[in-house]
Amino acid sequence: MMSSCKRRLCFLSFLSLLSSLCDCHPHVSRMVGARAASNQTARKVSHIAEEVAGYTDVAKQIIDLAVYGAAQNRSYRRLADFTDTVGNRVSGSQNLEMAIKYMYKAMTQDGLDVHLEPVKIPHWMRGKESAEMISPRVKKLAILGLGSSVGTPPEGIESEVLVVQSFEELKKRSSEAVGKIVVFNQPFVSYGLTVAYRAFGASEAAKVGAVATLIRSITPFSINSPHTGWQDYQDGVKQIPTACITVEDAELMWRMAQRGQKIVVRLTMEAKTLPDADSFNTVAEIKGWQHPEQVVLLSGHLDSWDVGQGAMDDGGGAMISWEALSLIKDLGLRPRRTLRTVLWTGEEQGGVGAQQYFNLHKVNLSNFDLVMESDLGTFTPVALQFTGSDSARKVMEEVVQLLAPINTTKLEAHGEGTDISPWMQAGVPAASLHVADSRYFWFHHSEGDTMTVQNPQDMNLCSALWAVVAYVVADLEKMLDR
Residue 46: predicted pLDDT: 86
Q: Which residues pair with 342 in a beta bridge?
A: 283, 299
38: pLDDT confidence band, cut at 50, 70 and 90? low
CA pair distance 473, 253, nearest whole angstrom: 53
pLDDT in tens, 426-450: 999 999 999 999 999 999 999 999 9
Of 30 and 151, more confident: 151
pLDDT at 1 over 50: no
Average pLDDT over residues 156-177: 98
CA pair distance 346, 90, nearest whole angstrom: 8
Of 13 and 460, more confident: 460
Say what the pTM is: 0.91
Q: Which of 7-11, 350-354, 418-422 has the lowest mean pLDDT?
A: 7-11
Residue 145: predicted pLDDT: 98
Residue 24: predicted pLDDT: 40
Domains along the chain with CATH numbers: 53-124+275-475 (3.40.630.10), 127-270 (3.50.30.30)
pLDDT in tens, 42-89: 667 889 999 999 999 999 999 999 999 999 999 999 999 999 999 999
115: pLDDT confidence band, cut at 50, 70 and 90? very high
Of 201 and 32, more confident: 201
Average pLDDT over residues 10-27: 40
pLDDT in tens, 330-367: 999 999 999 999 999 999 999 999 999 999 999 999 99
Q: Quick one: what percent of the chain has pLDDT higher than 90?
A: 90
Active-site residues, by number, are: 347
